[in-house]
Amino acid sequence: MAILLIHGGAWSMPDELVGAHERGIRNALGAGWRVLKSGGCALDAVEAAVRSMEDDDTFDAGRGSFLTSDGRVQCDALMMDGATLRAGGVGCVEHIRNPICAARKVLEESPHVYFVAEGAERFAAAHGIELIDNCELVIEREREHLRAAREKAAQGQEFEIFAHSHDTVGAVALDANGNLAAATSTGGTLNKTPGRVGDASLIGCGTYADNQSAAVSTTGWGEPFMKLVLGKWAVDRIAAGASPEEAAWAAMDYVKSRLKGHGGIILLDRSGRIGMAHNTSRMAVGCRTPDREWCGVKLERPSQPA
């Protein structure tokens, strides 16, 4: 049975942004599900879902991403194929509208796994991806956010809510042939130093897929997730017998207790069981199966056995 599970960030999303997140999640579920419904593969489905969210300014991926400290959009993305363990990633790209499509090209058409900056852009261009001006990815809302973050930083303070905002996007899918895939795309964190790469596009940190166990995508403060290789940590717990739901909540407890990390995670195992968890007040998530479409911004933690 085919399943698509996606996220669009985990943070203390204000009420007025909930509608835009839910719309973006529904559109992305539609885009990914069209692929799976017509018998398409999990890789195509996660690419379509993530691409739809990159094209939506609501999220911190593609156009509308957070800006670096020097006012540019700089994106990271990774895709992984659970059937073959092939992976493709790009980091610090500034001239690509859909970084996930460049990541797909790396996965399909390169013996390497990861390209960064100009090298990634040259590779993408050589494989048919149009390069665009960085200003096409920058929106006024994010110029405002950067201005506010800099003002706060000059006063030695943090830019409260947006300092903890995580609008990275991701998808995991299981197709009719039993293959898993995962994809994650991000503009990183607000006011980041140019050249910084987060967890989202690093194998095993923010994204992983293995047909023998599960597929994962995360969102959150990337540095703690990277230090704990959190995505693979969660997948390994599923391989060791935990359910995806148990592994998801355990991962968020682990990153919080060990490194005060915050964010969210989605997991899908090879038998189609799903897990989603966050330790922020909200997380934008959606799921589509042949019988059901669901989307929301808050998850209830299952009660622990006494």
| Catalytic residue positions, numbered | 168
Residue 177 Cβ, how far from ligand ASP at the closest point, in Å? 30
Q: Should residue 52 be labelled a site residue for ligand ASP when binding is judged by CB under 6 A?
A: no
CB closer to ligand ASP out of 89 and 220: 220
CB closer to ligand ASP out of 2 and 267: 267
The first and second tokens of residue 28, run together, are 């992305």
d(CA 87, CA 81): 6
Size of the site for ligand ASP (CB under 6 A): 16
Q: Which of 259, 261, 233, 260 is nearest to 248 (CA)?
A: 233
Q: Should residue 168 be labelled a site residue for ligand ASP when binding is judged by CB under 6 A?
A: yes
d(CA 22, CA 54): 15
Tell which one of 55, 199, 210, 269 touches ligand ASP (CB under 6 A): 199
Phi-psi region of 241 (alpha: psi -120 to 50; beta: other; left: phi over 0): left
Q: Give the number of other Cβ atoms within 10 Å of residue 194's Cβ.
A: 13
Q: Should residue 142 be labelled a site residue for ligand ASP when binding is judged by CB under 6 A?
A: no
Q: What is the largest CA-CA distance in the chain?
A: 58
**How many CA atoms are closer than 13 Å to the CA of 287, on its beta-carbon side?**
18
Cβ-based neighbours of 258, under 8 Å, separated by 6 or more? 224, 228
Runs of H (alpha helix) within the chain? 15-37, 42-54, 99-109, 117-126, 140-154, 160-163, 222-227, 230-239, 244-259
**Which region among 104-112, 134-142, 195-203, 243-251 touches ligand ASP (by CB under 6 A)?**
195-203
CB closer to ligand ASP out of 167 and 269: 167
Tell which one of 179, 186, 279, 280 touches ligand ASP (CB under 6 A): 186
CB closer to ligand ASP out of 200 and 242: 200
Residue 278 Cβ, how far from ligand ASP at the closest point, in Å? 11
Q: Should residue 82 be labelled a site residue for ligand ASP when binding is judged by CB under 6 A?
A: no
Q: Should residue 64 be labelled a site residue for ligand ASP when binding is judged by CB under 6 A?
A: no
d(CA 21, CA 26): 9
Q: Should residue 98 be labelled a site residue for ligand ASP when binding is judged by CB under 6 A?
A: no
Backbone dihedral angles phi then psi of residue 219, each to the nearest 5 degrees: -145, 145
Tell which one of 32, 88, 198, 224 touches ligand ASP (CB under 6 A): 198
d(CA 3, CA 247): 18
Q: Should residue 219 be labelled a site residue for ligand ASP when binding is judged by CB under 6 A?
A: yes
Binding mask 2-31 for ligand ASP (x = CB under 6 A): -------x----------------------
CB closer to ligand ASP out of 10 and 215: 10
Residue 196 Cβ, how far from ligand ASP at the closest point, in Å? 8
Would you give the end-to-end CA distance of the chain in angstroms? 33
Binding residues for ligand ASP, rule: CB under 6 A, are 9, 60, 166-168, 186, 188-189, 198-200, 206, 219-220, 222, 263
